[in-house]
Amino acid sequence: MNENITEGPQEADTAALFPVSDRELVELQKWLGTRADEQGLVDVAHRTIDTPVGTLLLAATRTGLVRVAFEREGFEHVLQALADKIGPRVLNAPKRLDPVARELEEYFAGSRHEFDVPLDHTLSTGFRQSVQRYLPRIGYGDTLTYKEVAALVGNPRAVRAVGTACATNPLPIVVPCHRVLRSDGGLGGYLGGLDAKNTLLTLEKAV
């Protein structure tokens, strides 16, 4: 006896039955991240913003802003490093980063000359952290040399170490390592590339 069997929808047809656009999916992920953050389930919240120096990745712990990354660093690599060093619960939860995004927008608009958001220096230790904590004292539009910074942090011979501290600064722009130059006036290195460093200095009318 022949029987007609009607099969239910296959897994492959689910998307056709319940279509979700890429934009809706992104918004859903953000909503889930925000809800998880509100319930204390997020070790590191992150989001991206578009700026004159390219897309930036912002990441924050409960303590404060812990990472600002340039696209050339590889966002997935940066997020994996944060998961390894801080905690595995790394989610796109933009609400926690709203104050940082707002201050950066004001900075690039020229209306903000210093940042007020709390910072988390977990990713740096020892002399590097000492240098990075000093850098915000360099005023908007001003510059110092690596040698001058070494002297100001109490170790005049540690010029190369100051350069390393600037090159490995996990909070560029907010912690303004772009304001540190070579003794001959050259830009030196920069995590975001020399074009980005020059853009920031030009914005601040330091060059």
Tell me the three state secondary structure of residue 131.
helix
177 is catalytic: yes
* Those residues with Cβ within 8 angstroms of residue 132's Cβ, 6 or more apart along the chain or in another chain: 121, 124, 165, 169, 171, 175, 177
> Which of 56, 91, 177, 191 is the catalytic position?
177
Separation of alpha carbons 125 and 57, rounded Å: 22
CA dihedral sign of residues 45, 50, 52, 53: positive
Q: Rounded distance, CA 173 to CA 83, Å?
A: 23
For residue 154, report the phi and psi dihedrals to the nearest 5 degrees. Answer: 90, 15
> Catalytic residue numbers?
177
